[in-house]
Structures are given as C-alpha cells and as structure tokens.
Structure 1
C-alpha cells in the first residue's frame, strides 16, 4: 500500500509539472530535440502541446517536410539559437522569434503560445529566411527621423 501511495504521488507531481510548462521551457525543449533528434521530432513535441491541433494535418505534414529539407549541405552546420524578439500581446499570448544560426545563413523560427486558462499551450510555429531582407529594409534612411 505504501508503494502504491508513493507511485500515485509521483504520477500526480509529474503531471502537474508537465502542465505548467512555460513558453521558455517549451522552446528550450524544442531546440534540444531539434539538435539531437531532428526537426520532425521537435515539431511533434510542439504539436503535442496543443490538443486542438492535429500533428497529421496537411499543413503540419508540409511544414515537417520543409523543415526536413534544411540539411547541412543546404543551410550549413547548425550552431544554435538566440532570442531576437518577444512580444506579449497580453498576459495570455506571447510570440517569440529566434535567430537560428547555421553556417551558410541565419533563419528565423517564430513560436506562438497561448494561455486560455491556467496552462500555456503551443499555438503556432513558422520559419523563414527573410530576416536579412527585413534588416536591410529597416536600415534604409526613410525609416529614420532625419533632423
């Protein structure tokens, strides 16, 4: 009986820890899986954090296939990631954008998280290579106040 109670306490404590994943923890776990197990496993992890999103929808399958194409011979060696932007629309919605460092060029991974009640859920993911063009555009003179 004592072992049964200990087992129940372990299950309860581990499930409450799981439910309290913050956006930062989810992103960290995503990149850990991305580096060690590949993009499909990392995306499966993200999509498992939202019961309303199907991991096998056509859009998700397309995204997984596109991410799988980011091989070392195409973008270079993976070197890590850095937070470049975080926008909190409210206490319940956050967007986090990361510079993902590859040998050939940087990419941007953007994550969205939503807290409908008391638990954060994954809400969206995208990636693109437009970061360099956006920085060039931002550097143009018409974006600055001239005296």
Structure 2
C-alpha cells in the first residue's frame, strides 16, 4: 500500500502536465488548421473569439489585426506545412508555443500564448513574425560571443 501511494504521488505531476498539454493542443488545433486550409482572413479574431481577452479589444482593432495577418501571409505564396519549434511557460498558468509556418516564398513564425487564470485554459494572444532570420542572427551573435578570443600558444 505504501509503495502504491508513493507511485501515485510520483505520477500525479506527469498526468497533470499531460492533461494540460492536451487542453492546449485542443485550443491550438483550430487556429493552426486555419493556416492549413488557407483561411487566413480572420486568424486573429478566430483565435481570440472564445477568450476573455477579446472582451478588452475593440472590434476595430481585431479587424485591423485580421487585415494585417492576411496582408502579410497572403504574399508568401502557397502554404506547405507548420512545425512546433519551441514551447515554454509556467506550469498550470501560462504557456507559449512557437510554430514555423512553411510558405513557398519564406517561412513565418507564429506564437500562441495560452493563459489559465482559474479553471480553463484560453488563448491569450497570437503573434506573427516574418523576420525569422533576425532570430537566427541574434542567436549566432550569442554563439560567436561564447567563443571568446583564442589565446596564443
């Protein structure tokens, strides 16, 4: 009995994390499907439609954001695929996922933020970046800086 209780206590965080991840997956899927279906006209408003955040954003701002997303993505050519490239957060409260969207002309980076204030996870924000090379350049500077100056022998 003692071993069973210890096993249950050790596995509880794993099941909590798995359930949390599944809830976030469920929120992210319809948003990500919009890109796959090339239904990008209302990405921002659809992403936030069931979020309490939308209560604090004017309809005009959402329309403008939808228009910006559509304008930026529409010129990238054919959509091929997407890939989750990074995720991090505060367990049980906040999570961010970064996806690379692979388009014919160039990649785009999208981040989805999820927040759980009380009992339910919701989409907190959606962000689009087209300058993926800027992220790589910044990381390269860090890596080059780590090399330091070589000592002469």
Distance 1:34 1:56, change over 3 A: farther
Q: Does 1:124 align with 2:88?
A: no
SS in 2 for 1:85: strand
Partner of 1:44: 45
* Aligned with residue 62 of structure 1, among 40, 61, 64: 64
Moved over 6 A (4+): none
TM-score, normalisation: structure 1: 0.73
Q: Distance in 2 between matches of 1:75 and 1:109?
A: 14
Q: Distance in 1 between matches of 2:77 and 2:138?
A: 25
Distance 1:45 1:56, change over 3 A: same
Q: Distance in 2 between matches of 1:132 and 1:112?
A: 22
TM-score, normalisation: structure 2: 0.71
Q: Per-residue CA shift, 1:17-48, capped at 9, x if unaligned?
A: xxxx7221221211213332612344333112
- 42-51 vs 61-70, which deviates more? 42-51
Distance 1:93 1:30, change over 3 A: same
Q: Distance in 1 between matches of 2:49 and 2:68?
A: 19
Partner of 1:109: 110
Indicate if the aligned counterparts of 1:81 and 1:101 stay in contact, CA closer than 8 A.
Answer: yes
Offset of 1:56 from its aligned partner?
5.0
Question: What 5-or-longer segments of structure 1 have no aligned partner?
Answer: 1-20
Question: What 5-or-longer segments of structure 2 have no aligned partner?
Answer: 1-21
The structure whose residues are more often helix, as a share, is 2
Partner of 1:133: 134
Q: Distance in 2 between matches of 1:40 and 1:30?
A: 12
